[in-house]
């Protein structure tokens, strides 16, 4: 019973308690029935014996002939003296003293009342074989009642057990929706308390991971904002002091300040969106039209960078999900292609589980595939390249990190493969299941 569910244990305990109570009641009823029956027979024998004695002695005298009577079902009476014995009376009765006696005959019991009458004795016998048959039928009826009540108790106990554990299961299911796990963990069925503890452990792990994630996030954001602010301050101080004399130098510094302010603004906006993401309830979404909407929003940026869009999503491809979440993921994947793959072609097509985004750009080094979803990875990679490459980068480095975070929140999978063909191209696969 240790690994049984709470519902199963509750059902077992309630059924056992009800069955035990019914068994005890049936046993007490049987014993009471037997006791009452024995007392009734004894009373009957005493009453009948006194009645017959009064009847045969009312005229006084002696026995002139033996007294032999069949007095009804299983009851007999004999009267005799030494001179006039009753031939039909069992011989074993003659050795009995006066009073009531119970003689065991195997399948039945003889109840015998012996009394003095005239110059001999009067014997009244009751054979309990008929009572024994009735007692057996009564016992069988009690057994049937016990079995019926136990079966009814089992059915009722199951309903009561399910009702009792419903709040626990509802809490477990709600927590499971908050912290979804793998299909094997969700399908696992066991003790309700163990399932709840397992889900609570996942919640605790997620909270711990979120705390560590936010600490790292804050540190990275602090670094990314502090660096451009330092550059802005130094350029502004130089211009205030008049250290920069030529107009072209002033213009270049002002352009750099404007670019850094834009970068800080994008960093703050992306950070806010990532930290305060809220999505509407799931609904039926037409995927091809969603891709067209994202293409339209990014068409100007893509045209400047030289990225061509191809919408190859099936016309009837639909899915039940949050449209806002899907649009957020697609925008960041496509913007990443604009920044890193252009000039190239980006093809979006349907898969059995979701969507596939494939570009014909330069691709990603195999050693960098494991880090593409890290925050500010693109900026770190640009810093490592140095020179003009670093100076040309104008992005926050949060796009794929936001996409991956949204996928985690929605229990989706976002995977990357590169190169795709002939050492070029990158493929992002978005699976909704």
For residue 313, pLDDT beyond 90: yes
178-195 mean pLDDT: 58
Q: Is residue 156 part of a domain?
A: no
Indicate the residue among 95, 117, 132 that finishes a domain. 132
Q: Is residue 162 part of a domain?
A: no
State whether 317 and 386 are in the same domain: yes
Domain count, the chain: 3
**Count of CB atoms within 10 A of residue 346's CB?**
26
**CATH number of the domain enclosing 406:** 3.30.565.10
Q: Is residue 163 part of a domain?
A: no
State whether 289 and 263 are in the same domain: no
State whether 120 and 199 are in the same domain: no
Please say whether the dihedral angle defined by the alpha carbons of residues 170, 171, 172 and 173, taken in this order, is positive or negative: positive
State whether 41 and 110 are in the same domain: yes
State whether 302 and 270 are in the same domain: no
Structure tokens at 375: 């925050």
Q: Pick the residue with more confidence: 380 or 283?
A: 283
**Predicted pLDDT of residue 384:** 46
Q: Is residue 144 part of a domain?
A: no
Indicate the residue among 276, 293, 325 that finishes a domain. 276
Structure tokens at 41: 């027979």
**Predicted pLDDT of residue 377:** 61
**Predicted pLDDT of residue 390:** 38
pLDDT-derived band of residue 21, with 50, 70 and 90 as boundaries?
very high
**CATH number of the domain enclosing 207:** 1.10.287.130
State whether 336 and 424 are in the same domain: yes
Model-level pTM? 0.44
Indicate the residue among 248, 276, 304 that finishes a domain. 276
- The residue with tokens 């066991």 is 190
State whether 217 and 356 are in the same domain: no
Q: Which pairs from 231-237 meet CB under 8 Å and 24+ separation?
A: 231/256, 231/257, 231/260, 232/257, 232/260, 232/261
Q: Is residue 152 part of a domain?
A: no
Q: Pick the residue with more confidence: 244 or 364?
A: 364
State whether 108 and 37 are in the same domain: yes
**What stretches of 379-432 adopt beta strand conformation (E)?**
413-417, 426-431
Q: Which domain holds residue 365?
A: 280-433
For residue 124, pLDDT beyond 50: yes
State whether 289 and 243 are in the same domain: no
pLDDT-derived band of residue 186, with 50, 70 and 90 as boundaries?
very low
For residue 319, pLDDT beyond 90: yes
Pinpoint the alpha helices (H) of 242-322. Answer: 247-275, 287-305
Mean pLDDT is lowest, of 18-32, 199-213, 286-300, for: 199-213
State whether 362 and 404 are in the same domain: yes
**Predicted pLDDT of residue 388:** 40
State whether 228 and 298 are in the same domain: no
State whether 221 and 328 are in the same domain: no
């Amino acid at each position: 019973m240790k690994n049984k569910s709470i519902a199963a244990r509750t059902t077992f305990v309630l059924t056992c308690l009800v069955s035990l109570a019914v068994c005890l009641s049936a046993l007490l009823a049987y014993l009471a029935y037997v006791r009452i029956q024995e007392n009734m027979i004894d009373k009957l024998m005493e009453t009948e014996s006194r009645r017959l004695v009064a009847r045969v002695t009312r005229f006084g005298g002696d026995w002139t002939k033996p007294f032999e009577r069949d007095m009804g079902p299983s009851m007999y009476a004999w009267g005799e003296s030494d001179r006039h014995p009753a031939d039909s009376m069992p011989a074993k009765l003659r050795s009995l003293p006066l009073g009531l006696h119970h003689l065991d005959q195997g399948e039945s019991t003889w109840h015998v009342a012996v009394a003095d009458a005239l110059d001999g004795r009067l014997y009244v016998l009751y054979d309990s074989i008929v009572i024994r048959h009735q007692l057996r039928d009564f016992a069988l009826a009690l057994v049937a009642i016990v079995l019926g009540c136990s079966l009814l108790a089992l059915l009722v106990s199951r309903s009561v057990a399910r009702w009792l554990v419903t709040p626990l299961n509802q809490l477990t299911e709600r927590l499971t929706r908050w912290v979804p796990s793998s299909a094997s963990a969700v399908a696992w069925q066991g003790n309700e308390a163990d399932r709840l503890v397992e889900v609570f452990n996942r919640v605790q792990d997620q909270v711990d991971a979120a705390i560590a994630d936010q600490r790292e996030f804050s540190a990275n954001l602090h670094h990314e904002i502090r660096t451009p602010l330092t550059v802005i301050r130094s350029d502004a101080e130089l211009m205030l002091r008049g250290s920069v004399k030529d107009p072209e130098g002033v213009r270049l510094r002002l352009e750099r300040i404007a670019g850094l302010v834009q970068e800080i603004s994008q960093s703050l906006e992306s950070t806010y969106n990532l930290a305060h993401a809220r999505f509407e309830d799931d609904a039926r979404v037409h995927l091809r039209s969603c891709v067209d909407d994202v293409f339209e929003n990014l068409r100007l940026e893509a045209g400047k960078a030289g990225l061509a869009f191809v919408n190859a999503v099936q016309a009837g491809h639909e899915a039940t999900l949050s449209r806002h979440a899907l649009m957020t993921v697609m925008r960041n994947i496509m913007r990443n292609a604009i920044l890193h793959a252009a000039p190239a072609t980006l093809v979006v097509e349907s898969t059995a589980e979701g969507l596939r985004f494939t570009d014909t750009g330069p691709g990603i080094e195999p050693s960098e595939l494991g880090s593409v979803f890290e925050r500010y990875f693109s900026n770190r990679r640009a810093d490592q390249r140095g020179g003009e490459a670093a100076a040309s980068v104008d992005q926050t480095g949060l796009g794929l990190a936001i996409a991956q975070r949204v996928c985690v929140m929605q229990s989706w999978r976002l995977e990357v493969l590169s190169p795709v063909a002939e050492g070029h191209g990158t493929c992002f696969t978005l699976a909704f299941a």
